[in-house]
Amino acid sequence: MDKETVLKVARVARLRLTDEELERYAADLEDILTAFSVLDEAPGAEDFDLGPIKVEDVFREDEVITSIDASELREVMGTKEDWVRGPRLS
């Protein structure tokens, strides 16, 4: 990394660096960026799945099913004139 870039980064971080520190940090940052360049070779998320089982969206058609006959339900609930009585609201 060149000294100008290190100097700009130091200004943003409000650091005052000597010429010796600029050279040292330029070399250190170059080593760090070289180490991170290994990540450029890593496969992206689109290249592989994270889990052993592939997850796919599966849509199905909704089917309306009546499981209990409404008249039988009203008999069990104790309705009055086919009206269900609920708790009083205050």
Using the CB atoms, write b or e for 39-68: b if 16+ within 10 Å. eeeeeeeeeeeeeeeeeeeeeeeeeeeeee
Distance CA 44, CA 59 (A): 28
Q: What token pair was written down for 21?
A: 């520190």
Residue spans per domain, the chain: 3-40
**Topology (CATH level 3) of domain 3-40:** Histone, subunit A (1.10.20)
Q: What token pair was written down for 56?
A: 């796919």
- Tens digit of pLDDT for each residue in 5-16? 989 989 999 999
- Tens digit of pLDDT for each residue in 14-49? 999 999 999 999 999 999 999 998 888 877 767 666
- Tens digit of pLDDT for each residue in 61-88? 888 887 888 888 877 887 778 788 778 8
Q: Given this model, what pLDDT does residue 49 score? A: 66
Q: Does the global pTM surpass 0.85?
A: no
- Tens digit of pLDDT for each residue in 47-57? 666 777 777 88
